[in-house]
Amino acid sequence: MRPPRNLFILFLAVVALPAATLLLLGVRLLEQDRALARQRQTEILEQACDRGVRALEQNLAILTKRLADPSWAPADIPGDSVYVVLRPDRVQATPPGRLPYYPSGQMLREPPAEPFGELESQEFRAQNLEKSLEISRKLAASPDALIQAGALLRQARILRKLGRAAEALQVYTTLSRVTSVSIGGMPADLLARRARCALLAEQSRQSELRQEAAAIAADMRAGRWQLDRASFRHVAGQVETWLGSELRASNEEEALAAAVAWLHQKWTSTPPDRFPSTGIQFQPFGSVPITILWASGGGRVAALVAGPRYLRTHWLAEVQKAASPARAYFAANGGKPVAGDAPPGRRGDPRRVQRTAADTGLPWSVVTAGAGPEEESGELAARRRILLAGFGALLVLISAGSYLIWRSVNRELAVARLQSDFVAAVSHEFRTPLTALRQFNDLLGEEDDVPPEKRRTYYQAQTRATERLHRLVESLLDFGRMEAGGRPYRFQRLDAAALARDVVEEFRGEVTGRGFAVQCSVDSGEYLVDADSEALSRALWNLLDNGAKYSGESRTLELAVGRADSAVAIAVRDHGTGIPASEQKRIFQKFVRGEAAKSQGIKGTGIGLTMVRHIVQAHGGEVRVESEVGQGSAFTITLPGVTSDK
Ligand code: ADP
C-alpha cells in the first residue's frame, strides 16, 4: 500500500521546508563570509597602497635633494633615461651619447671677420687666388685658435678653387684638430670632417669616404658634439647618404631629447623667481611616456629624465617592495597601466585600490591589486569546506530520517490494512455457521412433524455449526490472550503420539464428509513431552485445517510423529497449492495471508499460523515450513522431548 498524497505534502512541510530554509541560511552565511573576506582584503590593499606611496615619496624626496646638489652625479643611469644639467650657456647630459640632439647648440666662439678682410678682397675682388693663399698661410700660423680656424677654412676653400684637392684635404685634417671653435654655428672639427667627406665623395674615393663618414656617425652617437635639432638632422642626413644606411635616433632617444627640450623651454621661458625649485612631470613624448624629476637653483636645473624601464625597475620596484604581498602598478589618469601590469578583472573590482595623482602629488596613480579569486584566503576556503560538510551531513540525516518515517508510516498503513482485512475475514467466518444454524432452526420451526431420521440429521448439522462457532470464538479469544501475553499454559507430561492420534481422529470426523483421507503414522518409541494438551491440540488442528484448506484437488493429508535427535517432531504434510518462497517467512506474522489464499477466496483470518508459532515457542520448541508451489507443504513442530524416568 502507498502512503497517500497529502502525506507527501506533510513530509514537505515537516522536512523539506526546514531543510531548504537551512540551506538558504547557509548560502547567505557563505555570502556574508565572502563579503567580509573581500572587505578585509580591501583593507590590506589600502594599507599596502599607502605603504607603497610613502616609500615612493621618500625615494623621490631623497632623489630631488641629490639633484639639487651640484656635486652629485648619478652612478648608473638605465638605458632609457638620462641625467641632464641645464645651464644658460650649455646643456650637460649623462651619459654623454644618450641625447641625439640638444635644446640648443653648444655656445662656442666664432672666428672674427675683420682679420680676413685683406684675404677676402684678394680672393673675391681681385680674383688673385695665389695671393690670398699666401695670406691664409700666414694667418694659419697665428697662435690664436680662432684666427687659425678661420684661416684654415679659407685656405682649404682657395685650394679647392685652384683644383688642389689633395692639399685641401690636408688642410681640412688640420682644421679637424681644432676644438671649441664653431664656424657658422657648427663645431669647427665637425665642419672640417664633413668637408673632407664631401671632397672624397667628389673624387669618388668610396672606401675612404665610408670610413670617415662612419667615424662621424660613431662620434655623433657617442655625443661628441652638442648639436641642436636642426643641425643634428642636417648632419645625420648627409652621413646617411654617404654611408647608405640610416643614422636614426631610437624612439626612446628621441623622446628623451624632446623631454629635455620641453624642460629647457619651460625653464628659459619662465622668470627665474617663478620657476618651481622642484617638480615632477609625466607625459608621453612621441609614443614613449617620460617622467621628468627636477630640482633648480643656483642658475642651473638638474633633472632625471626617465623612460618606462626606469619607472619599472626603480620606482615601481620600490613601491612593490613596500606593498608586498599586494601587486602594484602605476596607472595614467585614464587607468591604463604605465608601469607594471594590471591583473585581469572587471572595472570597479573591489580587489583593487588606488591613490590618484590628485591624492598624492605624484604624476600617476599608484594602484595595488589583490590576488585573484583562485588565491582567496585559505581560512575562508576551510570555513566553506566545513559548512559544506555540515550541509552534507544534514542532508544525509534528513534523507535517513525521511526514509525511516516513510517506512514506519508505510508499515503502519500495512498493519491497518491487515487489520481491516482481518475484521472482514472474521465476519465472513462467522456468517457461514450462523446462516446454517438459522436455516435448520427455520426448518424445525416450519415442519410440525419432523421424522426422527431427519431430526437427527438436523441436529447433527446444528451441532457441527455450533462446534465451529465455538472453535472460532475460542480461537479468537485465545489469540487475544496470546497477544496480550495472558494465555496461561498448564504443562503436564503426556504422550505426543497419543495426542496427535486424538486430534487426527477428531479432524477426520470434520473432513471425511469432504472426501479427505487423513493418515497418522507414528514411529515406534516413546514421545513424552511436557505440554498443555489443549494448546498443542489447537496447534495441530490449525495445521491440519490449513492442509485441508490449501489442498486444491488433492485429498490426502498426513501427520507423522517421529524423533529429531532428542526432540519430538510432529509433521503435517499436504499435497496442495504450496507456498511461494517469498511468502514463507511472512505467513507466521499476524493477519498475514498468502496472495493465492486471498485471490482464490479461501476463507481464513490470518491468525492460525501465528497461534501455532506462539504455542510452540511457549513450549520451548519451534515450527518451520518446507514447501514448493504446486507440490504441497510440510509444517514441522519440534518440541523438547523428555524421558519417562525424569
Ligand atoms: P489463514 O486463516 O489465512 O489460513 P494462517 O495463519 O493459518 O491464516 O495461514 C497464513 C497463510 O499461510 C495462508 O493465508 C496461506 O496463504 C498460507 N498457508 C498456511 N498453510 C498452508 C498450506 N498448508 N498450504 C498452502 N498455504 C498455506
Is the CB–ligand 1 distance for residue 579 below 6 Å?
Answer: yes
Is the CB–ligand 1 distance for residue 576 below 6 Å?
Answer: yes
Which distant-in-sequence residues (6+ apart) come within 8 Å of 538 by Cβ? 475, 478, 611, 615
Amino acid at 298: G
Per domain, the residue ranges of the chain are 1-100+249-376, 108-248, 378-486, 488-640
Is the CB–ligand 1 distance for residue 614 below 6 Å?
Answer: no
Q: Tell me how far apart the terminal alpha carbons of the chain are, to the nearest angstrom.
A: 53
Q: For residue 293, how far is its CA from the centre of ligand 1 (angstroms)?
A: 108
d(C-alpha 227, C-alpha 233), whole Å: 9
Cα angle 99, 103, 108; round to 5:
95
Asked if residues 293 and 61 have their Cβ atoms less than 8 Å apart, the reply is: no
Asked if CATH classification 3.90.79.10 holds for the domain at 108-248, the reply, yes or no, is no
Q: At what angle do helices 188-202 and 145-161 cross, to 10 degrees?
A: 10
Asked if residues 292 and 281 have their Cβ atoms less than 8 Å apart, the reply is: yes
Which distant-in-sequence residues (6+ apart) come within 8 Å of 414 by Cβ? 1
Q: Output the pLDDT for position 507.
A: 94
**CATH of span 488-640:** 3.30.565.10
Is the CB–ligand 1 distance for residue 497 below 6 Å?
Answer: no
Q: Which of 587, 592, 612 to mutate to test the pocket of ligand 1 (most atoms within 8 A of CB)?
A: 587
Cell matching residue 372: 585573484
Greatest CA separation found in the chain? 197
- The predicted-structure confidence for 588-601, as pLDDT tens digits, reads as follows 998 899 999 989 98
Q: Output the pLDDT for position 373.
A: 47
d(C-alpha 451, C-alpha 448), whole Å: 10
Which distant-in-sequence residues (6+ apart) come within 8 Å of 293 by Cβ? 60, 63, 64, 67, 279, 280, 303, 304, 306
Is the CB–ligand 1 distance for residue 594 below 6 Å?
Answer: yes
Q: Output the pLDDT for position 287.
A: 87
Which distant-in-sequence residues (6+ apart) come within 8 Å of 186 by Cβ? 105, 231
Cα angle 637, 643, 645; round to 5:
155
Q: Which CATH architecture has domain 378-486?
A: Orthogonal Bundle (1.10)
Is the CB–ligand 1 distance for residue 239 below 6 Å?
Answer: no
Is the CB–ligand 1 distance for residue 609 below 6 Å?
Answer: yes
Characterize 447-478 residue by residue with b for buried, 16 or more Cβ atoms within 10 angstroms of its Cβ, and e for exposed: eeeeeeeeeeebeeebebbeebbeebeebeeb
Cell matching residue 603: 476463507
d(C-alpha 465, C-alpha 459), whole Å: 10
Those residues of the chain that have pLDDT short of 70 are 1-8, 344-350, 371-377, 645-646
Nearest to 638 by CA among 526, 496, 516: 496
Residue having the nearest C-alpha atom to atom 20 of ligand 1:
546
Asked if residues 560 and 635 have their Cβ atoms less than 8 Å apart, the reply is: no
Cis-peptide, bond into residue 344, ω within 30° of zero = no
Cell matching residue 49: 597602497
Is the CB–ligand 1 distance for residue 546 below 6 Å?
Answer: yes
Is the CB–ligand 1 distance for residue 632 below 6 Å?
Answer: no
Q: For residue 584, how far is its CA from the centre of ligand 1 (angstroms)?
A: 10
Q: For residue 587, how far is its CA from the centre of ligand 1 (angstroms)?
A: 7
d(C-alpha 577, C-alpha 587), whole Å: 15
485 — phi, psi (to 5°)? 80, 20
